[in-house]
Amino acid sequence: MFKLPPLPFDAAALEPLMSKTTLETHHGKHHAAYIRKTNAALAERADAPSTLEEAVRLAAREHDKKLFNNAAQAWNHAFFWQSLTAQKSEPTGALKAALEETFGSIGALREKAKARGEGHFASGWLWLVADAKGAVQLTDLHDADTPIVDPKVTPLICCDLWEHAYYLDYKNERGAFLDAFWTKLANWRFAAAQYEAARDGGAGAWRFPA
Ligand code: FE
């Protein structure tokens, strides 16, 4: 049985960029429902994995859409909370160098990430990922899809593109939400730790709490 992990900050800590109401609904209702439905789907199986990462990969292998959608959303949201911070941060060190090599500058990365998120049709997630060589890339995935099913990459940070992530605060202005995320809310300290793990082949990367 997986439990809803608590937010790693107070629900009001990101105001006004992300409101307490948004976070209480997003975490307390949406995320909680994905966890509940994942547990219900796993309760039907004798071979239920002990980690959420394994549950996501098992569902992907077996094309079990119901389990995949709920388990991946349970995982993605927990990772998204880690991707947010009230203590504004900037990319540093080796991660900063890799981002500058790929995108030209951190400003250019932010513009590219905003454009990619705005251009994404309907629901999904925007991810920054890195491979074991340290190469970084932006990728947008649909619905519940998640990079943890790809053994070649480690996610560094993600932004939820589902309307429930921003509609109460930004209405239909996804671009304004993406600006806030990439310039103020993105947790680059977390991304830097993930980047170190990526270059170690994913060992030590963040895991959903067991
Ligand atoms: Fe969401």
Q: Cα(77) to centroid of ligand 1, in Å?
A: 6
> Which CATH number fits the domain 93-199, given the four candidates 3.90.79.10, 3.90.226.10, 3.55.40.20, 3.40.50.1100?
3.55.40.20
Question: Separation of 27 CA from ligand 1 center, angstroms?
Answer: 8
Q: Which residue has the tokens 């939400």?
A: 177
Rounded CA separation 69/84 (Å): 22
Residue with tokens 């859409």: 65
Contact 132, 194 (CB under 8 A): no
Read off the tokens for 130: 């890195």
pTM of this prediction? Answer: 0.98
User: CA–CA distance from 42 to each of 28, 30, 33, 37 (Å)?
Assistant: 21, 19, 14, 9
Query: Where are the chain's structural domains?
Result: 20-82, 93-199
Nearest to 155 by CA among 117, 120, 202, 110: 202
pLDDT score, position 87: 96
Contact 206, 195 (CB under 8 A): no
Q: List the chain pLDDT tens, one digit each, 210 residues.
A: 999 999 999 999 999 999 999 999 999 999 999 999 999 999 988 989 999 999 999 999 999 999 999 999 999 999 999 999 999 999 999 999 999 999 999 999 999 999 999 999 999 999 999 999 999 999 999 999 999 999 999 999 999 999 999 999 999 999 999 999 999 999 999 999 999 999 999 999 999 998
- Residue pair 127/155 in contact by the 8 Å Cβ criterion: yes
Q: Which residues of 74-100 are buried (b: 16+ CB within 10 A; e: fewer)?
A: bbbbbbbbbbbbbeeeebeeebbebbe
Give residue 139's pLDDT.
98
Per CATH, 20-82 and 93-199 having the same topology is answered no
CA of 73 to the centre of ligand 1 (A): 8
CATH match for 20-82 among 3.40.605.10, 1.10.287.990, 3.40.50.10860, 3.40.1030.10: 1.10.287.990
Q: How far is the CA of 76 from the centre of ligand 1 (A)?
A: 8
Among 100, 99, 105, residue whose Cα is nearest residue 157: 99
List the one residue out of 120, 139, 166 whose CA is nearest residue 18: 166
pLDDT at 210: 84
124-131 sheet: strands from edge to edge: 136-142, 124-131, 153-160
Task: Give the pLDDT score at 47.
Answer: 87
Helix axes 106-119, 93-103, angle to 10 degrees: 70
121 CA from centroid of ligand 1 (Å): 15
What one-letter code names the amino acid at 15?
Answer: E
What separation in Å is there between the alpha carbon of 78 and the centre of ligand 1?
10
